[in-house]
Amino acid sequence: MGLMSMDAVAPISSGSITVLDDTVTLDLEIALDQVKANLILQTATRSLVKQHGATQLTFHGTGSTHHVPIVVSGSAQAGEICVDLELSITCIGVDAHLSGEVHLGTVELPLPGLGRIEDLSFTVESHVTLARH
């Protein structure tokens, strides 16, 4: 089977962007147990999340304000899975756009006929409204 793309959405359950001097810190929690997608993908994803105890994906990254867009690097962890992740942050007024991509390599999925994916990667895209504290 060739290249295949599927869309899924999971909500950010909490997060913060902190700017101190010229350092940016981004903390996010994404509710993987609330992923929404087509029925087959949603069922498989929720099963995989439950199987690995990965209901929340947490990300902590830091970067510098000297670059536009700001790039924060850190680790994203969900259950026993931990990957390095870089996210770009573009701020426009009170809104921020977050984007990045992760390549996980070979992954076994609980999907009949698609049990193994040779090169699983996912893209992070999010628009958030910022609130000052």
Domain ranges of the chain: 9-129
| pLDDT tens column, 68-116 | 899 999 998 888 778 889 999 998 888 888 888 877 777 666 556 656 6
Q: How buried is 6 (Cβ within 10 angstroms: 0-12 exposed, 13-18 middle, 19+ buried)?
A: exposed
**Coil, helix or strand for 110?**
coil
User: Residue 125 — very low, low, confident or very high, per pLDDT cuts 50/70/90?
Assistant: confident
CATH of 9-129, one of 1.10.3470, 1.10.8, 2.10.25, 2.40.128: 2.40.128
Entry pTM: 0.78
- Predicted confidence (pLDDT) per residue in 34-72, tens digit: 878 777 777 777 777 777 777 888 999 999 999 889 999
